[in-house]
């Protein structure tokens, strides 16, 4: 299988303004040639006969309309304006009308060292700050360094966005609402597993979106994305379909960092830099995903985090002010038939506990729940609370569905023998 290069939507680099070429609609009138008077009389006579004939009938025939133009029209301009929109288009319009007030733009700003430039307009030292440009010496300036999107999930100012949009602790974040309010935002919590963050602005009475059920969506359904592409076009709307489900991609976050996104939604609704954190909606105006990434070198391949992966995060932040993610503390490889045959194992499913490439990549994290329960390297975790561990149900996904403090029963294979082990889940701390 070929590897495909994926990039995240948002980059901390400043978005480039879109350039739009506008062509005037007006065209100059051409001077009409002068007609002989006899021709004018003849044409008038012919149109008079046609008009008299048409007047005898209650309705205008199609061929007569072609000749007599506007005088034969039975519709008024008001009737044309009230013409019905196709039902599916009307559904999309209704969703946009209802959802747009709850979608916000996020502006990222930061103190950036000033750069001394040459008389020719080129920066010295490839834009590297000079020694005297230390921010502490006043040699810096506040600049916009990025943009993103988000949406209200409560009337009291809680907003969901992507973690990579608001992960820079040295930046400040401003939320711009659909009606133009500029509000300072506080980052409350970053999910250590998913690319999700919850931020908050002061105030009340904000319009909030309904969180739907991403387990019920089907390939081919209509999908509507709303966001702030390129940091220039706030509350832009794009429409497409659900192209695929349960995708797994590796997204580049920034500066060579990568993040694995699992079980995410693929859509062909146009998603661009700046759309990060915006909602993906269905025709019921419910959020089914959070837009997160696009495929490089391709067209109309975008991805969104299923909304069911963020519901608990939102609830926990509102209840406790933080996101608590459970873990057991093992490093593992998911088994399949090919891997099992190569390794000479007796089972073709489960999670094989294995150390990583570096010496510090322990198979069992010291002091973790797995360590306390006695798991060791080369154990195979077959089931968790009776649910089989395989490629369709990875260990990480099963654990993510539990709560911190839950006691779970692991069915493991230890030195060729199967046995049950009880493990109490603890909170995974952000790295």
pLDDT in tens, the chain (431 residues): 433 333 334 333 333 223 333 333 333 334 445 555 555 555 555 555 555 544 444 443 343 333 334 433 444 444 444 455 567 688 899 999 999 999 999 999 887 776 544 443 433 333 334 444 454 555 677 778 888 999 999 999 999 999 999 988 889 999 999 999 999 999 999 987 789 999 999 999 999 999 999 999 999 999 999 998 776 777 789 999 999 998 988 776 544 456 678 889 999 998 888 888 999 999 999 999 999 988 877 778 999 999 998 998 899 899 888 888 888 999 999 999 999 999 899 999 999 999 988 888 899 999 999 999 999 999 999 999 999 998 888 888 888 888 889 999 999 999 989 999 999 999 876 54
**Pair of tokens at residue 209:** 């979106």
Determine how β-strand 6-8 pairs with β-strand 236-252.
Answer: parallel
**Sign, CA torsion 86/89/95/97:** negative
Listed residue (205, 163, 185) closest to 106, CA to CA: 185
Active-site residue, selected from the candidate residues 105, 214, 243, 276: 276
Residue ranges and CATH numbers for the domains of the chain are: 1-10+85-109+141-323 (2.40.10.120), 325-428 (2.30.42.10)
Listed residue (223, 239, 247, 351) closest to 295, CA to CA: 247
pLDDT of amino acid 397: 81
What one-character DSSP code corresponds to residue 243?
Answer: E
Cross-strand bridge partners of residue 260: 250
d(CA 237, CA 241): 13
Active-site residue, selected from the candidate residues 191, 195, 263, 379: 195
Is there a catalytic annotation at residue 179? Answer: no
Is there a catalytic annotation at residue 393? Answer: no
d(CA 158, CA 183): 12
Active-site residue, selected from the candidate residues 105, 147, 149, 164: 164
Task: Look at the chain and count its residues.
Answer: 431
The model's pTM: 0.67
For residue 99, the tally of other CB atoms under 10 A from its CB is 23
What is the radius of gyration, based on Cα positions, of the chain? Answer: 31
DSSP SS3 for 266:
strand
d(CA 324, CA 344): 38
d(CA 125, CA 189): 38
pLDDT of amino acid 161: 96
């Amino acid at each position: 299988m070929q590897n495909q290069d994926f990039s995240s939507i948002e980059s901390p680099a400043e978005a480039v303004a879109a350039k739009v070429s506008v062509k005037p609609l007006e065209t100059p009138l051409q001077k009409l040639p002068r007609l002989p008077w006899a021709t004018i009389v003849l044409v008038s006579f012919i149109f008079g006969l046609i008009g008299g004939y048409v007047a005898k009938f209650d309705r205008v025939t199609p061929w007569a309309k072609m000749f007599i133009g506007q005088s034969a029209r039975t519709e008024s301009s008001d009737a044309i304006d009230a013409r019905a929109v196709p039902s599916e288009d009307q559904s999309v319009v209704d969703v946009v009308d209802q959802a747009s007030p709850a979608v916000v733009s996020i502006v990222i700003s930061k103190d950036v060292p000033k750069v001394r430039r040459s008389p020719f307009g080129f920066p010295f030292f490839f834009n590297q700050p000079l020694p005297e440009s230390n921010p502490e010496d006043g040699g810096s300036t506040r600049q916009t360094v990025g943009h993103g999107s988000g949406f209200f999930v409560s009337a009291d100012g809680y907003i969901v966005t992507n973690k990579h949009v608001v992960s820079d602790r040295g930046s400040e974040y401003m939320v711009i609402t659909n009606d133009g309010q500029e509000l300072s935002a506080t980052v409350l919590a970053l999910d250590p597993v998913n690319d999700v963050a919850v931020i908050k602005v002061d105030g009340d009475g904000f319009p909030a979106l309904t969180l739907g059920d991403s387990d019920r969506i089907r390939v081919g359904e209509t999908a509507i994305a709303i966001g702030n592409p390129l940091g220039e076009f706030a509350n832009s709307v794009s429409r497409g379909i659900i192209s695929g489900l349960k995708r797994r991609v590796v997204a580049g976050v920034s500066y060579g960092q990568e993040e694995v996104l699992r079980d995410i939604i693929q859509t062909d609704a146009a998603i661009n830099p700046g759309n990060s954190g915006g909602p993906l909606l269905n025709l019921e105006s419910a959020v089914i995903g959070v837009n997160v990434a696009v495929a490089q070198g391709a067209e109309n391949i975008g991805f969104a985090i299923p909304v069911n992966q963020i519901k608990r995060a939102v609830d926990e932040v509102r209840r406790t002010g933080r996101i608590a993610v459970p873990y057991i503390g093992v490093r593992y490889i998911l088994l399949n038939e090919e891997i099992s045959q190569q390794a000479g194992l007796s089972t073709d499913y489960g999670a094989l506990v294995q150390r990583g490439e570096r010496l510090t990549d322990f198979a069992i994290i010291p002091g973790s729940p797995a360590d306390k329960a006695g798991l060791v390297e080369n154990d195979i975790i077959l089931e968790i609370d009776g649910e089989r561990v395989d490629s369709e149900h990875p260990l990480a996904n099963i654990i993510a569905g539990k709560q911190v403090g839950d006691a779970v029963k692991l069915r493991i294979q230890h030195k060729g023998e199967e046995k049950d082990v009880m493990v109490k889940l603890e909170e995974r701390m952000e790295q």
